[in-house]
Structure 1
C-alpha cells in the first residue's frame, strides 16, 4: 500500500493507494513545528479509524512546498516505517518535460498536478489549484509542462480583508442568495466568491488565447468544488488530482 503526502502551506492532504485505487484520504492543518514523533502519532490515529497498520505501507511519496517540514517527515518515515520516501524534487523522474526557464523553480505540487492531469484527462490541459496560492498550470497536447500563473489564494485574501477593514466581520465562504448582497455578510460573500470565479475565468480565458487549440480545464484543491461549480470555464473538479500525480510519479521511479 502506498502512502502519499501533499504538503501545502495551509493543509496537508494524505492518501493511501492499493494499486491504482485511492482507498483513504485525510486533510489536516499544516503545523510547521510538528516533530517526527508527532507526525507518527497523527498518522497512527488516522490509521486506527480505518483499521490500518504502519506495516501495511510498502511505499511513501511526498510532495512538499514547505521545506522546513521535510526533515521531520523524512525522520518519521525512516523511524516508524523503516523506509526512505520518494520526495518530489530535482532528479526525480516525472515523465514530463518542463518547458520552463529554470525547471528547479517549479513547485513540486505544480509538477505533480500537471502529471496527474495529463494522465487522467490528456492534453492540452489547464490545472487550477486552489491552495494557499491559486496556481494555473498549462500542459501541452504532448504532455509538456509549459508554465502558468500564480495568484494570491482565497484564504490569505480573505484574511487580509478582515485584518485591514476594521468594520467588516469575518464571514463564512459560502454562496450568497444573490450576487447583489442586501446586507454586509452577503455582500462580502458575493464579492469573495464571484471575485475569485472572475479571476479564474479571466486568467483561464487569457491562457486559452495563447493556445493554438482549446485546453481542458481541471480544478483541484480543497476549495475546488465551491469555486469550480460556479465557473463557466471549469470542466472537471478533481480534489485528489495531486495524490494521483504522486502515485504515478512513484510508480515511474520504481521502474527506472
Structure 2
C-alpha cells in the first residue's frame, strides 16, 4: 500500500492506494497536521505532491521521523515530457494531473482543475504536457468581489434556476456560476480550435468540478481522484 498526499494552497487531500484503487479520500485544511493512516508496517511508500514549499519540508521531515523517505514529485522526476519554456515552473499538481490523465484516459487530453486557481493542463497526442492556462478560481474571484463591494453579501455557490437574477443573492450566483461555466466552455473551445482537434478528452477535477460537471455541455469525464492517481502513477514509474 502507498500513501499519496496532495498539498494544495487551501486543502490537503490524501488517500491509501491498495494496488488497484484508492480508499476514501481524506481532506483537511492546508497546514501542519498529523496524517492518519493504517498500520505503518503495511505501507510500502509515501508520495507527496505539493505547491506549498514550507509544507513540503514539514511533511518530508514528519515522515522521516517515522522511518520513511517520501517521494516528492518535481519537474525532473515526473516521467513526462514538459514541452514548455520553463519546466521548473510547472506545478507538481499540474504534472500529476497531466500524467494521470494520459495514463488513465489517453491523449490528447485537457485536465481542468478547479482549485484556488482554475488550471487547464494540456497533453498532446504524444503524451507531452504542452502547457495550458491559469485563471482565478471561481470562489477566489467571487470572494474578492464581495470583499471589495460594501453592499454585496457572501453567497452560497450554486447555480440559480434562472440566469436573470431577481435579488442580490441570485444576481451574484448567476454571475459567479454561469459566468464561470461559460468561461470554461470558452476556454475548452479555444484550446480545441488551437489544437485543431475537437475530439480531445476533457477531464474535470477539483473543488467546483462536481457543480460545473452537472451543467457543462461539452462531453467530459468527472474524476475527483485524478491528481492522486497521477501521483501514484509517477511514483510507480520511478520504481520501474
TM-score, normalised to structure 1, is 0.90
Which residue, 129, 138, 141 being the options, matches 1:154?
A: 138
Question: What are the superposed Cα offsets for residues 86-137 of structure 1, whole Å, 9 maximum, x if unpaired?
Answer: 1011331x33211101111111111110001111111110110001110001
* Structure 2 portions without partners, runs of 5+: none
Residue 251 of structure 1 aligns to a residue whose secondary structure is helix
TM-score, normalised to structure 2, is 0.96
- Structure 1 Cα separation of the partners of residues 39 and 130 of structure 2: 40
Match of 2:83 in 1: 99
- Structure 1 Cα separation of the partners of residues 132 and 30 of structure 2: 25
Match of 1:21 in 2: 21
Question: What are the superposed Cα offsets for residues 212-236 of structure 1, whole Å, 9 maximum, x if unpaired?
Answer: 3221111111210111221122511
Instruction: Decide whether the 8 Å contact of 1:3 with 1:14 is kept in 2.
Output: yes
* Structure 1 portions without partners, runs of 5+: none
Match of 2:47 in 1: 61
The structure 1 segments of at least 4 consecutive aligned residues displaced by more than 4 Å after TM superposition are: none
- Mapped pair 1:228 → 2:210: no
Paired residues in the alignment total 239
User: 1:183 Cα deviation (Å)?
Assistant: 1.5
Instruction: Decide whether the 8 Å contact of 1:63 with 1:246 is kept in 2.
Output: yes
- Structure 2 Cα separation of the partners of residues 173 and 122 of structure 1: 32
User: After superposition, where does 1:1-256 map in structure 2 within 5 Å?
Assistant: 1-31=1-31, 34=32, 39-40=33-34, 43-44=35-36, 47=37, 52-80=38-66, 82-92=67-77, 94-214=78-198, 215-233=200-218, 235-255=220-240
Question: What are the superposed Cα offsets for residues 190-247 of structure 1, whole Å, 9 maximum, x if unpaired?
Answer: 1111111011111111111111322111111121011122112251111110000011
Give the aligned CA root-mean-square deviation in angstroms. 1.2
